[in-house]
Amino acid sequence: MDSLEFITKLVVWGNEVRKIHALVVKLGLELDVYVGSAMVNTYLKFGLVEEAQKVFEELPSRDVVLWNAIVNLFAQIGRFDGGL
């Protein structure tokens, strides 16, 4: 697999993640901490930082696992102030 093919697959998968998120919202599960945590982690795995942060900020409660995911993400991309 060359780099262009890999990037293309990431874009396609990212779009699929967005479709899954839309379904989560349609089903009324967007405020569920477990579903939200899964969405944040999935967005992070595909490098969709803004989407992950938006879901994180909209969750009514945030557990330790979710906070760790966000803090680690911002540390990895060099934005040490973002996870706080």
Average pLDDT of every residue of the chain: 80
Q: How far apart are the first and last CA of the chain?
A: 38
With beta carbons less than 8 A apart as the criterion, state whether 47 and 10 touch.
yes
pLDDT in tens, 43-84: 888 888 888 889 999 988 888 888 888 888 778 777 666 555
pTM exceeds cut of 0.85: no
Q: Is residue 11 part of a domain?
A: yes
Count of structural domains within the chain: 1
In which domain, by residue range, is 51 found?
A: 3-76
Per the domain annotation, does 18 fall within a domain? Answer: yes
24, part of any domain: yes
Q: How far is CA 8 from CA 42, 46, 55, 58, in A?
A: 18, 12, 24, 29
